[in-house]
Each structure stands twice: as C-alpha cells, then as structure tokens.
Amino acid sequence: MQASRWTFRPTSVRAIVDGVKLVVTSDLHVDPKGRLTTRARIDALARAIADESPSLVVLAGDLGHSLRGWELCLDAFRAMPCPVAALAGNHDVWRDRAENLGSDALFTTVLPERCARVGIRWLEGHTMRFGSVAVVGSMAWYDYSAVDPTVTVSAAQLEELKRAFNNDARCIDWPHRDTDVAQRLGDALVAQLEELERDDEIAQVAVVTHVPLVEEQMERRPHDPTWGLCNAYFGNLTLGHRVTAFGKVRAIVSGHTHAGRRANRGPIDIRVVGSDYGAPAYEVLDLREAR
C-alpha cells in the first residue's frame, strides 16, 4: 500500500470568518469485500475532513458497492462534528440482488431511509441553509448532451450503444429512459433554485451534484473517439445551462468522472472531486455570508 493513497489534498485549509466551509467528497466506492475502497481508507478520509472543521459535509454519490457498502460509508461519517448530507450516484442505484432491491426502490425509499437512520440528511430535494448561504444538491443524470461535439451519433443511437460502453445499462433496472430521469431531476433542482433566487435572505447558493453539469467539468480527449462517445454518459450540460443562469449560484461541485477539475466561470467556483477507486479525495469551498 502506497503512503500517497492516504494523502488527501484539500483545496483550502483557510480559517473561515463569517462564512461557511463546505466539504464535498464523492465516488468513495466502499466495498464490503475490500476489493475497491476499504472502510479503513474511508475512516482515514473522514478524520482528515473532520480536521478541516467544516460547516457541512456532502457525500456526493457513488458511496458504496451494494447497499452494505453504502451503509458502511455512511457509518464512517455519522460522528462528524457538523451536519452531513448525502446524494446517490449511479453506482448506488445499481440493483442489489443480495437484498432483492431494485433501482427505483433504492433511490426513492431505501437510501433516504438509511441516511435517516444514522442522522445524515438526504440532500436530494432538500435545501440546507447557513445564514445567507444555501446548499442544494441532486444526483442529476446524464442526458447525452456532454458527448464530444465530434461524435456524430444521434441520441437514439447513444441510448442503444450504452450497453456496450456503460455498466449502468446492465445494472440499473428502473424502466425510465436516461433523458426522462435527467429531465425530472433537473426540473426539481431548478425549482429549488428558483425559490432561492426569490428569497431575500439568501445571497449565494452552492450546487452539489453527482453528474457534472458544465463544460469546465468535462474531460476531453480529442484523440480518443471512444472516450468522446462515453462522455455522453458523464455529464448533463443541458442542466448546467439552466443552473448557471441563476445569479446567486456561486459554486458547482460534482463527482462521477474520477477526474479532478477546478475552474471558474465568472463568480462561479467549479469543481470535480478527484476521487478514484481506493484513493478518496475531497474539495473544500469557502462560502462567505453576506453582511
């Protein structure tokens, strides 16, 4: 085991004055069998995050393999000295044959219930407020809009090709089309942002999603056509256009791709958590309260 695997590189370690310190981690992939990310590594991650003295920790999806992996991950964060919120990722809604649970049941009922049991907030559809700062989140979902522009394949073809390039096609058993899931979750997130935009007590909003939303979060490999096609299942730029239209949005943080990213678009701080299998990571954002 390499020591670097235990080294977590936060974006910021500044003390917060009149502000909110948001820590986001994702793609932890806790595996009860220890083949991917072990519970010991997640415990070490949780200790490193606690040392940041965060105001809020968000677990942004792909937390575990199987429901047991999800529960082990949540358990590692239940003693955090601040509120903790969680979102599902695509791996989290893979059907669990051992528990005889399908994807719909996991997303709508089981995962939220498991969060409630250990005092962790299910962030999908909820808003967390810290003075003039609000944090909202969604699993979001890919709608094929992030496919590389050079890929001349229709949306219908991308839907058909998914089984050859993405395990979600074989492991998720809900009857919904990707574009329908993306639309439903996107509309709900936008409705939250519309409400916050009208709220005079909120000055800035951080948006946390599992699936990336904006071009700055995408990894482009111009000479790899397979990767370019797979980007169809890695982002939702349609939703990103809607989210970035809101004047109070100051941060967008996502996971899913395992490719860390940091950028700015005007006042919006844009991140992708760089976790990979066996190598968890996190991002720290300083959100200033309005005076």
pLDDT at 119 over 60: yes
Instruction: Report the chain's C-alpha Rg in angstroms.
Output: 18
More confident residue, 135 or 288: 135
- What percent of the chain is modeled with pLDDT above 70? 93
Which domains does the chain possess?
Answer: 3-288 (3.60.21.10)
Strands (E) located in the chain: 19-25, 56-60, 84-87, 121-122, 127-130, 133-138, 204-209, 249-254, 261-265, 268-272, 282-288
Alpha-carbon distance of 141 to 234, in angstroms, equals 9
More confident residue, 171 or 10: 171
Alpha-carbon distance of 273 to 28, in angstroms, equals 10
**Which candidate, 196, 200, 208, 194, places its Cα nearest to that of 290?**
200
**For residue 98, what is the DSSP state?**
T
Q: What is the pLDDT of residues 35-87, one digit of tens each?
A: 888 889 999 999 999 999 999 999 999 999 999 999 999 999 999 999 999 99
pLDDT at 7 over 60: no
Q: What is the pLDDT of residue 36?
A: 82
pLDDT at 253 over 80: yes
3-state helix vs strand vs coil in the chain, percent to 5: 35, 20, 45
More confident residue, 49 or 2: 49
Q: What is the pLDDT of residues 234-249, one digit of tens each?
A: 999 999 999 999 999 9
Asked whether the whole model's pTM tops 0.75, one would answer yes
Pairing of strands 19-25, 282-288: antiparallel
Phi/psi at 72 (5° precision): -65, -40
